[in-house]
Structure 1
Amino acid sequence: KVKAISRSLEENTRQRRSDRQIMHRNLDPIVHPFERAKEYTRALNAAKMHRMFAKPFVANLDGHIDGVYCLAKHPWDLRAAISGSGDGEIRVWDLTNHRTIWRVEKAHQSVVRGVCPMPHTRRFLSVGQDRLVKVWGPEIISPLATYEGQEAFNAIDHHRTDKKFVTASSTVALWDVNQATPIQTFEWAKETTTSVRFNPVECDVLASCGADRSLTLYDARAQSALKKLTCSFKVNALSWNPMMAYQLAAASEDQNVYLYDIRSFKHPTSVLRGHVSAVLDVDFSPTGAEVVSGSYDCTIRIFDIPTSNCRDIYQTKRMQKVFCTKFTMDSKYLLSGSDDGNVRIWKAKANEKLGRVSTHQQESMQYNDQLKKRFGHMPEVRRILHQGKLTRRIKSATRLKNIMLDARARKEDNRLLFTGAKEDRRTDKDSAVMREHQ
């Protein structure tokens, strides 16, 4: 007898010329004794390629004469973004073609402090220090409606479903679009409120932060404040997680971003470290897995929420203090507004390839991502992935900050050792909040 090898013609031949060649593999681990060593080498090469192709900057939208103090993304139009500057100018940008499609030079008599789109319409709201709230249309350069307040406004946000919006001044005021005066006012203390945000999931819950280092939760249905925290440092901006209604991010003056769980609103659940100066703005990605922050140190940082680690650092030589940062609604790009009067577009993943990607390229990139994730704890791979191009000023400030943090930790350990104190060592989470109010 003669034993012949028989194979199916359909399983071993290509149907089209564009198909990849069929390769037969033996997955038995005995045949591959150096599998982990080979994968480590591939992970090292993937990390090097990641850093080599890390070019996050996409475009620069110039036109503002003064610094850009506020940004807003349209929740239903991926191409549109709204910006307001220090000279009272408002612009609507076409992010695809990198151009201005609508602008008003003197929308407000002073700094534009906030802009936000109105749901299910092409209109948007703006506030400034001239004590006015204005409603703007897509093609009309004069305001469609104007609401006058008693004091200068610092922030504005619109309800997700109802025709209501909230403003921040010395009080938090809730307005109806069809009425000229506030329908409700929240006032815990007579202090300036710097930021206010509606919860995108639990739409009647809102949070605010003030100049008195306060962080307050409100319920529009109860017509009263729920909880209030007095933080150790001033909170500059707030952002809600769109996927988890209970998670709130706070950009603090102490160079950190704190994540709070409003169900147990006593101490932050996570601390995102890395900035070397005050954090001025913060925003969640639409997936709820990442946070972007802009700082006074002229850098943008992207944090991974599950690990609380800084994934990427973006900066340019000409970019000044970053006043506002936003994720686009597809989570693929970032928007930043800085003191140099420019709106910049960045890639959310620095090494991501723009344009058409073939199936083979996509599979290769996914495989490399898994390798970097699997071997990310290795010293050499971690060093390459976290190696970024930073200016000398940021490097020296980071080095000095690490020395100060080490000295502070050493002092705390010595205090506990030589005084015989029974309490545990205080962490950043414990020292972030000074007092809780009911």
Structure 2
Amino acid sequence: MKVKVISRNPDDYIRETKRDLHKVHRNYDPNLHPFEAPREYIRALNATKLERVFAKPFVGNLDGHRDGVSCLGKHPERLSWLVSGSYDGEVRTWDLAQRRNLRSFQAHNGYVRGVTFVPSGQQFVTVGDDKTIKFWNMEGPMWGEEEEPTNTILTACASDRSIILYDTREIGPVRKVILKLRSNKLCWNPMEAFIFTCANEDYNLYTFDTRNLKQPLTIHMDHISAVTDVDYSPTGKEFVSGSYDKTIRIYETHKGHSRDIYYTKRMQRLTCVLWSLDNKYILSGSDEMNIRLWKARASEKLGVLKPREKTALNYSEALKEKFASHPQIRRIARHRQVPKMIYNGQKELRTLKEKKKIREANRRAHSKPGSVPYVSERLKHVIAEEH
């Protein structure tokens, strides 16, 4: 009788001390692992599903304004400092870490149109409907002193559907582009000084290169109402937009459709959005007097991660990237639950565009050859460029 015995040396798998790593033997010979690709595909599928399960972008909100929030400004050096303006002319400064209001004062008579910090961060500038630009100190007044601006300049604004580029060394405008509808906000790419994106009333955003303003580089679609604000991420690879359709959308700079959409049932029309300087959060202000804080990546885990968690997350990201083009994984990664109003609005806009294309094709087919030229989508929205 022949007996086979499995024997092993304990030194091969037992640690000498508790601080040593476990000895794990791996044989990476592909002939011994015929199901490696299917196994990795299942892991990528599960990682994509878990990403959608844990996609909860809303973090918190700041309330205190007595009217709708009209604009937001982020501090150039301190991540936790924020300034907001409202429709009633009030300006408030906030501490995001503690979620509390630091100070509030009446800055303008009427609508606060915009607020931004000077590069040093010691002062911020507000623009109001009372035709004034005011400079304010970030530190509040001393005991017994009144809140007063440090400087005041008269200005005039026009909304003639144009985007005007000025050189501070010259008197008049350098370049001027006229679009079909008015642009509400313009934001420069922080990594490419000649690229900017504007939010337009025709439901789209347009990315332009200042060296060629005859046509936009990219047209960013998906909103179903006027786009009110836009802001770039610190990396310059993405930007966030807010719209009157009560949604926030995140776009990649070189793609025409959004990668994510944020909304809540209580959030009304968006008036302003900001991307934080640490590239982790998005701030939004809306008509119902709330400032909301969102995660820039909906499923990202906040807080300090352990080394094993980091390794597991990096492995999952690598698998998702490897199998990103697979139909099942692509479908799950792209799927978003949207309100019925947004779904029906997108369906209606899609139908209108298709019918317009059919009309143009019929006109071209039944007209003299060359009399109805084909105009690309990028050229349709720019009316004129002036030097």
Q: TM-score, normalised by structure 2?
A: 0.90
Q: For 2:221, which of 273, 285, 303 is the aligned residue?
A: 273
Alignment of 1:427-438 (within 5 A): 427-438=376-387
Q: Which moved more, 1:22-31 or 1:286-295?
A: 22-31
Distance across 2 between alignment mates of 1:96 and 1:387: 32
Mean CA deviation greater in 125-134 or 341-350: 125-134
- Residue 260 (structure 1) shift: 0.6
Secondary structure at the aligned position of 1:136 is classed as: strand
Task: For residue 115 of structure 1, give the secondary structure of its aligned residue in structure 2.
Answer: strand
Alpha-carbon separation, structure 1, partners of 2:17 and 2:163: 62
Q: Offset at 1:284?
A: 0.6
Partner of 1:413: helix, strand, or coil? helix
Name the residue aligned to 1:108. Answer: 108
Counterpart-to-counterpart distance in 2, 1:304 and 1:18: 44
Query: Residue type matched to 1:117 in 2?
Result: F
Q: Is the 8 A contact 1:294 1:323 kept in 2?
A: yes
Per-residue deviation, 1:217: 1.5
Residue in structure 2 matching 1:285, options 233, 245, 264: 233
| Cα distance between partner residues in 2 of 1:402 and 1:69 | 31
2: CA distance, partners of 1:14 / 1:336: 53
- Cα deviation, 1:291-338, whole Å, max 9, x if unaligned, reads 100001000000012334311100011111101101000110001010
Q: Give per-residue Cα distances to partners, 1:125-172, cap 9 Å, x unaligned.
A: 2121123332222122512424142x5xxxxxxxxxxxxxxxxx33xx
Q: Which residue of 2 aligns with 1:47?
A: 48
Q: Structure 1 residues 19 and 45 mapped into 2: Cα distance closer, same or farther (>3 Å)?
A: farther
The offset of 1:12, in angstroms, is: 7.2
SS at match of 1:383: helix
Quote the residue 1:301 is aligned against. Answer: 249
Q: Secondary structure at the match of 1:263?
A: coil
Percent of matched pairs sharing the same residue: 41
> Alpha-carbon deviation of 1:348?
0.1
Give 1:61 shift: 0.3
Please state how far the C-alpha of 1:116 moved relative to its aligned partner. Answer: 1.2
Deviation digits for residues 181-214 of structure 1 (CA, Å, limit 9, x no counterpart): xxxxxxxxxxx1xxxxxxxxxxxxxxxxxx2111
Question: For residues 232 and 64 of structure 1, do their structure 2 counterparts lie closer, same or farther at Cα, with a shift above 3 Å needed?
Answer: same
- Seen in structure 2, the aligned counterparts of structure 1 residues 21 and 69 have a Cα distance that, compared at 3 Å, is same
Q: Which residue of structure 2 aligns with residue 220 of structure 1? A: 168
Instruction: Name the counterpart of 1:184.
Output: none
Contact 2:45 2:329 in 1 (8 A): yes
Give the conservation status (yes or no) of the 8 Å contact 1:252–1:278: yes
Deviation at 1:20, TM superposition (A): 5.4
Q: 1:90 to 1:38 in 2, by over 3 A?
A: same
Q: How does 1:82-101 map to 2 (within 5 A)?
A: 82-101=83-102
Q: In the aligned structure 2, how far is the partner of 1:16 from the partner of 1:349?
A: 40
What residue in structure 2 maps to residue 334 of structure 1? 282
Flag the 1:21–1:420 CA change in 2: closer, same or farther, 3 A: farther
Cα distance in 1 for residues equivalent to 2:374 and 2:26: 55
1:251 maps to amino acid: A
Q: Name the stretch that deviates more: 265-274 or 409-418.
A: 409-418
The residue aligned with 2:341 is 393
1:80-159 alignment runs, 5 A limit: 80-104=81-105, 106-137=106-137, 138-140=139-141, 142-149=147-154
When residues 107 and 419 of structure 1 are mapped into structure 2, their CA distance, relative to the original with a 3 A threshold, is same
SS at match of 2:211: helix
1:232 aligns with 2:149: no
C-alpha distance 418-91 of structure 1, shift in aligned 2 (>3 A): same
Q: Out of 112-121 and 350-359, give the one that drifted further.
A: 112-121
User: RMSD over aligned Cα, in angstroms?
Assistant: 2.3
Deviation at 1:19, TM superposition (A): 6.4
Pick closer, same or farther for the CA change 1:32–1:410 going to 2, 3 Å. farther
SS at match of 1:267: coil
- Which residue matches 1:426? 375
Which gives a bigger RCO, structure 1 or 2 (Cα 8 Å, sep 6+)? 2
The one of 261, 272, 287 equivalent to 1:324 is: 272
Q: In 1, are the aligned partners of 2:187 and 2:232 still within 8 Å (CA)?
A: yes
Residue deviations 1:331-363 (CA, integer Å, cap 9, x gap): 100010101111100000000111121111112
Cα shift at 1:385:
1.7
1:76–1:418: structure 2 CA closer, same or farther, 3 Å change rule?
same
User: Contact between 1:132 and 1:146, CA under 8 Å: does it hold in 2?
Assistant: no
Is the 1:413–1:425 Cα contact (8 Å) retained in structure 2?
no
Gaps of 5+ in 2: 1-6
**How far apart are the structure 2 equivalents of 1:236 and 1:80?**
25
Matches of 1:436 and 1:296, distance apart in 2: 28
Aligned partner letter, 2:150: A
The aligned counterpart of 2:4 is: none
Q: Are the structure 2 counterparts of residues 381 and 427 from structure 1 closer, same or farther at C-alpha, using a change threshold of 3 Å?
A: farther
Letter in 2 for 1:85: S
Please tell me whether the aligned partners of residues 132 and 152 of structure 2 are also in contact (alpha carbons under 8 angstroms): yes
Alpha-carbon separation, structure 2, partners of 1:373 and 1:221: 47
Judged with a 3 Å threshold, the aligned counterparts in structure 2 of structure 1 residues 363 and 411 are, in CA distance, closer, same or farther, namely farther
3-state DSSP of counterpart to 1:124 = strand
Give unmatched runs, 5+ long, in structure 1. 152-168, 171-191, 193-210
Structure 2: distance between partners of 1:341 and 1:19: 56
* Distance verdict in 2 for CA 1:366–1:15, change over 3 Å: farther
- 3-state DSSP class of the match of 1:37? helix
Structure 1 range deviating more: 297-306 or 113-122:
113-122
Q: Which residue pairs with 2:298 in the alignment?
A: 350
Q: For the residues of structure 2 that align with 1:239 and 1:51, how far apart are their CA atoms?
A: 30
Pair 1:67 & 2:68 matched:
yes
